[in-house]
Amino acid sequence: EMNTRIQVEHPVTEMVTDIDLVKQQILIAAGERLEIEGETVPLRGHAVECRIVAENPETFAPSAGQVTWLHLPGGPGVRVDRAVYTESVIPPYYDSLIAKLITHGRDRQEAISRMVRALGMFIIDGVSTSIPVHERIMADADFRAGRFDTHFLARFSPNGRGANLL
């Protein structure tokens, strides 16, 4: 999907299409010709995105504070779009997004395996994060098999409602 504002999940689309959607929007705004031609764009592989947020992983309550240490994951098929750096202050009043972690693989299982590895490499000190919840989701047999619905996150929340994780 392309419209006047970029979607929060646009990195997943970029990973499976190999198209820079932000660049395409800039070309449109400049009156230039798009690099994309035709009605369909071939898809390649599978991508998974986790929103790493400053929240308590058990209660999903906001976790304001200062990021005292940040180590970002990397490697083949790993993308990190981050909003913070070491010494960033995450206030309690605004979006608690720390980063979007996106992995790509030849298939769903490879994308999930890369996500599991990337989550294990992602280190943030100073605030609580959603990383433990994402690790539990990635380990869930139903998620790994693609068997989930809009009520899926409720299983990972003590109050029966999901957070803004996926």
What is the Cα–Cα distance from 47 to 19, expressed in whole angstroms? 14
- The CATH number corresponding to 45-156 among 3.40.50.300, 3.30.200.20, 3.30.470.20, 3.30.70.1050 equals 3.30.470.20
Domain assignments of the chain as residue spans, ordered by start: 1-44, 45-156
- What integer pLDDT is reported at residue 166 of this predicted model? 46
| Strand ranges for 32-128 from DSSP E | 46-53, 65-66, 69-71, 78-82, 89-90, 97-105, 123-125
Q: Which of 5, 44, 82, 106 is an active site residue?
A: 5
Residues 20 and 44: beta-carbon distance below 8 Å = no
pLDDT digits (tens, 9 = 90+) for 9-60: 889 999 999 999 889 888 888 999 887 777 788 899 999 999 999 999 888 8
Q: Residue 65: CB partners within 8 Å, gap ≥ 6?
A: 54, 89, 90, 126, 127
In this prediction, what percent of the chain has a pLDDT beyond 70? 91
The pair of structure tokens assigned to 148 is: 């989930």
What is the pLDDT confidence band of residue 160, given thresholds at 50, 70 and 90? low
| Arithmetic mean of pLDDT, 106-130 | 98
33 is known as an active-site residue: no
